[in-house]
Amino acid sequence: MTGEARLRLRPAAALWREVHGETIVLQLDQSQYLGVNAAGTVLWPALVAGATRDELVGRLLSAYAIGQDQAALDVDAFLLACRAHNLLEP
C-alpha cells in the first residue's frame, strides 16, 4: 500500500451509525453487522471522504499517544480488515 493512493469507502458497500464513540456498520453485500471500535471510528469519516494512508496515519497520531510505526501498523491492519469485508473502492 503506498502512502499516496487515495483510499475510499465504497458508497454502496455499507450503512453505518456512530454510537457512543464507536461505529456500527451494516455491510450490505453480506447483510453483516460489523463493529468499528473507537480508533477505527477516528479513521472512518476520512475513509468516507477519501484519504491517503499517510493522512489516516496522521489522524491516528493526532488522536492517540502512539508512535508513527504503531500508527502505520494499526492503519494497515484496519485497511486490511476493511478490504476483507469489501468495504473499500478497488
Partner 1 sequence: MTGSKPSTPGEPSVTRALRSVAAHGLPSRLGPAAIAGPAWAHFMAMAEHQRLQGLVGEAIQAGALRVSAEQAAQARRATIEAARQVLALEAVLLRALSTLGPAYPVRLLKGPVLARTAYDDVSSRGFIDIDLLLPSTHVDAAVTTLEAAGWRRLTPQLRAGFDRRFGKTVCLEDSDGLQLDLHRTLAKGPYGLLIDVDSLWAGETHVSVAGQQIPCLPAEHHFLAVCYHAALGDVPPRLVPLRDVAQTLLHTDLDADRIAALARSWRGEAVLARALTLAWEILELEQAHPLVEWARAYRPGLVARLDLLPYVSRWRGPALMMLGSLRALPETRARMALVRAMVFPERAFLERRGLSRLRWLWKPSRSSQACVPARPPTCEAPE
Footprint of partner 1 (CB under 8 A): 10-20, 24-26, 28, 31, 33
Tell me how far, at minimum, the Cβ of 9 lies from partner 1, in Å: 9
- Comparing CB distances to partner 1, the nearer of 22 and 76 is 22
- Comparing CB distances to partner 1, the nearer of 54 and 89 is 89
- Lookup: cell for 51: 484519504
Q: Which helix (H) or strand (E) covers residue 45, if one does?
A: helix 38-49
Q: Which helix (H) or strand (E) covers residue 23, if one does?
A: strand 22-27
- Lookup: cell for 16: 453505518
Tell me how far, at minimum, the Cβ of 44 lies from partner 1, in Å: 13
Tell me how far, at minimum, the Cβ of 35 lies from partner 1, in Å: 9
Q: Give yes or no for a contact between 8 and 89, defined as CB atoms under 8 angstroms apart.
A: yes
- Comparing CB distances to partner 1, the nearer of 12 and 65 is 12
Q: Give yes or no for a contact between 18 and 41, defined as CB atoms under 8 angstroms apart.
A: yes
